[in-house]
């Protein structure tokens, strides 16, 4: 039925949304697989990267029901930014991901603001101090 479809994933803060589009941008199928945000003492906010993987797998299976996999021409990913996921030598996670909402480094952020011009920091990194 469809020749060239786009499978898009948005790995957001609360879940992975998978959408299949046709070449004109019409939605053929969509699915949202939720995962948890882990709030800990001291402003720590984390997620289990295996939850991300499970959500990607689940949402892909759901969104592809009734669609020939050979019709997928493009797969895209977008996701939350400003996180940290540490990996071992094999590329496997060594713990939870620290996500953008984490505030454990507020003290260090304030120290940086006193040591470097905010515009210069943005020019170098492409991000604000947070």
Q: What's the whole-model pTM score?
A: 0.85
Contacting residues for 75 by C-beta, under 8 A, at least 6 apart: 6, 7, 8, 9
Note the pLDDT of residue 128. 84
Question: Which domains, ranges and CATH numbers included, belong to the chain?
Answer: 5-104 (3.30.420.40)
Percent of the chain whose pLDDT exceeds 90: 80
Q: What is the pLDDT of residues 27-74, one digit of tens each?
A: 999 999 999 999 999 999 999 999 999 999 999 999 999 999 999 999
């Amino acid at each position: 039925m469809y020749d060239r479809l786009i499978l898009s994933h948005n790995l957001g803060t609360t879940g992975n949304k998978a959408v299949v589009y046709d070449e004109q941008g019409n939605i053929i199928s969509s699915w949202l697989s939720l995962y948890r945000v882990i709030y800990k003492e001291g402003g720590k906010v984390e997620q289990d990267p295996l939850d991300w993987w499970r959500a990607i797998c689940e949402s892909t299976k759901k969104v592809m029901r009734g669609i020939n996999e050979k019709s997928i021409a493009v797969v895209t990913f977008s996701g939350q930014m400003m996180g940290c996921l540490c990996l071992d030598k094999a590329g496997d996670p060594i713990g939870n991901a620290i996500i953008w909402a984490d505030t454990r480094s507020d003290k260090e952020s304030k120290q940086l603001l006193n040591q470097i011009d905010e515009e210069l920091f943005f020019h170098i990194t492409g991000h604000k101090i947070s």
